[in-house]
């Protein structure tokens, strides 16, 4: 195994990162570097076209979708019209099915949702049949993960817990915070739902607990969160929907040694949350009135005490969440404003 790491660094592959977000640019550049893939970075679709006009060519292009001047869909179309045959992988945040289809039809070879991780990048390379044939994908993944885990165990990422009742708007606001302040969003609920989909041995247990509105044992959720943190190049995370009870809170602190910088608490009346959940329309098994009522009860009995715990430590930043999305974000922004706004809002 030790021999395989230097060999990866000798890869002849080249890549172009096209993204207007500084944090994503850095992260994608570093992930490619880790796999020994030489790469350049440009800030929008027009720059990607320009760099090809100047005669440069790449094996792989990691293309963001929403960018100023020329977006990812337009740039991909233009590159294909120019006869560029590089493999292009779209890498975007929360694209809806329509956008994804349009992006694919513009000439993509592959598509991944952000945040890009080492394993997602490896699966792109695998699917696009890049020449790593002297090694199995397993050995490359092991080598890459070893490196990532090595640095992750030494690093102490900054963590903000994002709490609030079901439907209070946690996920919605997290997407805005990611966009403006460069955090990586980790939703405990999304990680658990992905674990069900992956067919893992815990899948059925998790599915049954979510259907009942119950909280999954900490051990399972913490493992998923730890893995997501370790696999990610970023060093600041929004952990959404966790800790949901005292057991979650104490176990996370014990296992990771991480204390949150602060807790962002979305305070919203039940009637409003109920209305939003019934209209959420994401096909979630737990967004039915019976399970919603159970989730509200669990929130009051188990999650509010966690918020009170952090309140006593002066760590809670309460947001009035029963307002329109933009107004809620104004309040959120004020909490983050001491930090430099690193990423300009996408147009
Ligand atoms: N401020 C708001 N006003 C109205 N609807 C909202 C607001 N924030 C979120 N929503 C909508 O409510 C639903 C639940 O929001 P979501 O962010 O998924 O909540 P949570 O992650 O807290 O469960 C979604 O359909 C979302 O589009
Ligand atoms: N820390 C957590 C977070 C979520 N879960 C489970 C139980 C929750 O009802 C579901 C859904 O959580 P999610 O945060 O995605 O959604 P809501 O805030 O309930 O809208 O996942 C858990 O067991 N433990």
**Residue of the CA atom closest to atom 15 of ligand 2:** 189
What's the pLDDT at 141?
Answer: 39
The Cα–Cα gap between 279 and 89 comes to 33
How confident is the model at residue 83, as a pLDDT?
A: 96
In percent, the amount of the chain with pLDDT more than 70 equals 87
Q: Of the residues 244, 247, 251, 321, which should be mutated to test ligand 2's pocket, given the most ligand atoms within 8 Å of the CB?
A: 244
Q: At residue 339, does pLDDT exceed 80?
A: no
Nearest Cα to Cα of residue 67 among 29, 24, 36, 130: 24
Is any ligand 1 atom within 6 A of the Cβ of residue 199? no
ipTM confidence score? 0.97
Strands 60-63 and 87-92: parallel
* pLDDT score, position 119: 75
What is residue 172's predicted lDDT score, i.e. its pLDDT? Answer: 96
Please give the pLDDT value at position 11. 64
Q: Would you say the CB of residue 325 lies under 6 angstroms from ligand 1?
A: yes
Q: Which of the pair, 344 or 69, is modelled with greater confidence? A: 69
324 lines ligand 1 (CB under 6 A): yes
Of all protein residues, whose CA lies closest to atom 5 belonging to ligand 1? 276
pLDDT at 42 over 90: yes
Determine the longest span between alpha carbons in the chain, in angstroms: 63
**Higher-scoring residue by pLDDT: 36, 196:** 196
Q: What is the DSSP string of 167-228?
A: TSSHHHHHHHHHHHH-PEEEEHHHHHHHHHHTT-TTHHHHHHHHHTTPPPPHHHHHHHHHHH
pLDDT at 85: 95
Query: What pLDDT is recorded for position 36?
Result: 82
Q: Is the CB of 165 under 6 A from ligand 1?
A: no
Mean pLDDT, range 33-49, rounded to an integer: 92
Interatomic CA distance for residues 51 and 66, integer angstroms: 19
pLDDT digits (tens, 9 = 90+) for 247-268: 999 999 999 999 999 999 999 9
- Stretch 63-79: mean pLDDT: 97
Give the Cα separation of 338 and 319 in Å (integer).
16
Strand order in the sheet with 158-164: 184-187, 236-240, 158-164, 262-267, 316-320
Kindly state if the Cβ of 244 falls inside 6 Å of ligand 1: no
Which domains, and CATH codes, for the chain?
4-152 (3.40.50.2300), 157-336 (3.40.50.300)
Q: How far apart are CA 40 and CA 220, in angstroms?
A: 38
Find out whether the beta carbon of 164 lies less than 6 Å from any atom of ligand 2: no
Which ligand sits nearest to residue 331's alpha carbon?
1
pLDDT digits (tens, 9 = 90+) for 92-104: 987 788 999 999 9
Name the closest-CA residue to atom 16, ligand 1. Answer: 169
Whole-number Å distance, alpha carbon 242 to ligand 2 midpoint, is 8
Ligand 2 neighbourhood includes 244 CB (under 6 angstroms): yes
**Residues that constitute the known binding site for ATP:** 167-172, 280, 323
């Amino acid at each position: 195994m030790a021999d395989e790491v230097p060999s990866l660094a000798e890869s002849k592959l080249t890549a172009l990162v096209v993204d207007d977000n500084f944090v994503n640019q850095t992260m994608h550049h570093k992930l490619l570097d880790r796999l020994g893939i030489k790469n350049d970075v440009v800030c929008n679709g027009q720059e990607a076209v320009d760099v090809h006009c100047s005669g440069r060519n790449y094996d792989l292009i990691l293309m963001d979708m929403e960018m100023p001047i020329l977006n990812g869909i337009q740039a991909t179309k233009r590159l294909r019209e120019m006869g560029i045959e590089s493999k292009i992988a779209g890498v975007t945040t929360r694209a809806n099915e329509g956008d994804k289809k349009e992006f694919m039809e513009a000439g993509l070879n592959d598509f991944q949702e952000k945040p890009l991780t080492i394993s997602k990048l490896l699966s792109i390379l695998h699917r696009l049949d890049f020449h790593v044939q002297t090694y199995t994908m397993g050995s490359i993944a092991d080598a890459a993960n070893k490196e990532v885990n090595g640095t992750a165990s030494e690093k102490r990422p900054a963590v903000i817990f994002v709490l609030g009742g079901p439907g209070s708007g946690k996920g919605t606001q997290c997407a805005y915070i990611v966009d403006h302040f460069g955090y990586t969003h980790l939703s405990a609920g999304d990680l658990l739902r992905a674990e069900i989909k992956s067919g893992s041995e815990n899948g059925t247990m998790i599915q049954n607990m979510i259907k009942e509105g119950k909280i999954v044992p900490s051990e399972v959720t913490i493992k998923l969160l730890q893995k997501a943190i370790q696999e990610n190049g970023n060093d600041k995370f929004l952990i959404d929907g966790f800790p949901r009870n005292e057991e979650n809170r104490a176990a996370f602190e014990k296992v990771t040694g991480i204390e949150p910088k602060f807790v962002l608490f979305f305070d919203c009346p039940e009637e409003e949350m109920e209305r939003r959940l019934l209209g959420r329309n994401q096909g979630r098994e737990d967004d039915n009135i019976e399970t919603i009522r159970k989730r509200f009860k669990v929130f009051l009995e188990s999650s509010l005490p966690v918020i009170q715990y952090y309140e006593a430590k002066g760590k809670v930043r309460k947001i009035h969440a029963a307002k329109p999305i933009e107004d809620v974000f104004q309040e959120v922004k004020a909490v983050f404003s001491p930090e430099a706004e690193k990423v300009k809002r996408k147009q």
